[in-house]
Structure 1
Amino acid sequence: MATSSGRAILSPPDLQPAAKDDGIDVFWHEGMLKHNTGRGVFDTGMEPDFLDVLENHPENSDRVKNMVSILKRGPIALFVSWHQGRAALISELLSFHTQEYIDELVEADKKGQGKIICPGTFLNPGSWDAALLAAGTTLSAMKHILDGHGKITYALVRPPGHHAQPTQADGYCFLNNAGLAVQLALDSGLNKVAVIDIDVHYGNGTAEGFYRSNRVLTISLHMNHGSWGPSHPQNGTVDELGEDEGFGYNLNIPLPNGSGDRGYAHAMTKLVVPAVEEFRPELMVLVVGQDSSAFDPNGRQCLTMEGYRKIGQIVREMADKHSNGCLLIVQEGGYHVTYSAYCLHATLEGVLNFPAPLLPDPIAYYPEDDAFTAVVVESIKKYHKQFVPFLK
Structure 2
Amino acid sequence: MDVFWHDACLAHDPGEGLWELPGHWPWLDEPEPHPESAARLRTFRSVLRRGPVAPHLRWREGRLADLDELAAVHDRDYLAHVRRACGGPERVAVDVNTVVGPGSWPAILAAAGSTLAAADAVLDGSASIAYALVRPPGHHAQPATSDGYCLVNNPALAVARARAAGLRVAVLDWDVHHGNGTQEAFYADPDVLTVSIHMRHGSWGANHPQTGAPDELGVAEGVGRNVNVELSLGAGDAAYLRAVDEVAAPLLRAFRPDFLVCASGFDASTFDPNGRHNVTMAGYRALGGRAAALAEELTSGRLVLTQEGGYLRGYAALCLHALVEGLVGVSEPLMADPLVYLPDESALCPERTDADLAAVRSALAGHWPELGW
Q: TM-score range by the shorter chain?
A: over 0.9
Contact 2:85/2:101, CA 8 A, preserved across alignment: no
Give the 3-state SS of the residue equivalent to 1:110 in structure 2: coil
Judge which range, 244-253 or 380-389, deviates more.
Answer: 380-389
Q: Return the alpha-carbon distance in structure 1 between the equivalents of residues 241 and 49 of structure 2.
A: 28
Give the 3-state SS of the residue equivalent to 1:131 in structure 2: helix
1:204 matches 2:188: no
Question: How far apart are 1:385 and its partner, in Å?
Answer: 2.8
Determine the structure 1 residue equivalent to 2:251.
Answer: 275
1:137 matches 2:131: no
Determine the structure 1 residue equivalent to 2:216.
Answer: 240
1:382 matches 2:362: yes
Question: How far apart are 1:57 and its partner, in Å?
Answer: 0.6
TM-score when normalising by structure 1:
0.92
1:220 matches 2:230: no
Determine the structure 1 residue equivalent to 2:2.
Answer: 25
1:62 matches 2:39: yes
Over 3 Å off, 4+ runs: 386-392
Question: Structure 1, residues 244-275: CA drift from partner, whole Å, max 9, x if none?
Answer: 11111000001101110011111111101110
Determine the structure 2 residue equivalent to 1:5.
Answer: none
Contact 2:229/2:356, CA 8 A, preserved across alignment: no
The one-letter amino acid paired with 2:262 is: L
Question: Structure 1, residues 214-258: CA drift from partner, whole Å, max 9, x if none?
Answer: 111000000000001101010000010000111110000011011
1:41 matches 2:22: no
Determine the structure 1 residue equivalent to 2:53.
Answer: 76
- Aligned partner of 1:121 among 75, 98, 116: 98
Give the 3-state SS of the residue equivalent to 1:195 in structure 2: strand
Question: How far apart are 1:47 and its partner, in Å?
Answer: 2.5
- Aligned partner of 1:108 among 61, 68, 85: 85
The one-letter amino acid paired with 1:268 is: V
CA distance change for structure 1 residues 127 and 234 in 2, over 3 Å: closer, same or farther?
same
Q: Return the alpha-carbon distance in structure 1 between the equivalents of residues 235 and 86 of structure 2.
A: 40
Question: Structure 1, residues 13-36: CA drift from partner, whole Å, max 9, x if none?
Answer: xxxxxxxxxxx1000011111100
Question: How far apart are 1:111 and its partner, in Å?
Answer: 4.8
Question: How far apart are 1:388 and its partner, in Å?
Answer: 4.8
Question: How far apart are 1:134 and its partner, in Å?
Answer: 0.3
Report matched runs for 1:218-367 at 5 Å.
Answer: 218-367=194-343
Unaligned runs of 5+ residues in structure 2 are: none
Question: Structure 1, residues 171-221: CA drift from partner, whole Å, max 9, x if none?
Answer: 00000011011101111232x111000000000001100001011100000
1:153 matches 2:133: no
Contact 1:266/1:374, CA 8 A, preserved across alignment: no
> Aligned residue pairs: how many?
368
Question: Structure 1, residues 349-381: CA drift from partner, whole Å, max 9, x if none?
Answer: 111221110110011232023211123213322
Q: Return the alpha-carbon distance in structure 2 between the equivalents of residues 341 and 228 of structure 1.
A: 27
Question: How far apart are 1:316 and its partner, in Å?
Answer: 1.2
Question: How far apart are 1:53 and its partner, in Å?
Answer: 2.2
The one-letter amino acid paired with 1:374 is: D
The one-letter amino acid paired with 1:281 is: P
Q: Return the alpha-carbon distance in structure 2 between the equivalents of residues 289 and 109 of structure 1.
A: 25
Judge which range, 370-379 or 117-126, deviates more.
Answer: 370-379
Q: Return the alpha-carbon distance in structure 1 between the equivalents of residues 218 and 334 of structure 2.
A: 40
Q: Return the alpha-carbon distance in structure 2 between the equivalents of residues 281 and 292 of structure 1.
A: 26
Q: Return the alpha-carbon distance in structure 1 between the equivalents of residues 368 and 15 of structure 2.
A: 43
Give the 3-state SS of the residue equivalent to 2:245 in structure 1: helix
Judge which range, 359-368 or 77-86, deviates more.
Answer: 359-368
Q: Return the alpha-carbon distance in structure 1 between the equivalents of residues 326 and 94 of structure 2.
A: 36
1:93 matches 2:73: no
Contact 1:319/1:325, CA 8 A, preserved across alignment: yes
Question: How far apart are 1:112 and its partner, in Å?
Answer: 3.5
The one-letter amino acid paired with 1:263 is: A
RMSD (Å) for aligned C-alpha atoms: 1.2
Determine the structure 2 residue equivalent to 1:19.
Answer: none
Question: How far apart are 1:49 and its partner, in Å?
Answer: 1.7
Question: Structure 1, residues 108-146: CA drift from partner, whole Å, max 9, x if none?
Answer: 233543211001001111011101100000000000011
CA distance change for structure 1 residues 209 and 390 in 2, over 3 Å: closer, same or farther?
farther
Give the 3-state SS of the residue equivalent to 1:128 in structure 2: helix
Q: Return the alpha-carbon distance in structure 2 between the equivalents of residues 163 and 302 of structure 1.
A: 22
Q: Return the alpha-carbon distance in structure 1 between the equivalents of residues 164 and 361 of structure 2.
A: 32
Judge which range, 212-221 or 111-120, deviates more.
Answer: 111-120
Contact 2:173/2:197, CA 8 A, preserved across alignment: yes
Q: Return the alpha-carbon distance in structure 2 between the equivalents of residues 200 and 183 of structure 1.
A: 23
What is the aligned-residue identity percentage? Answer: 44
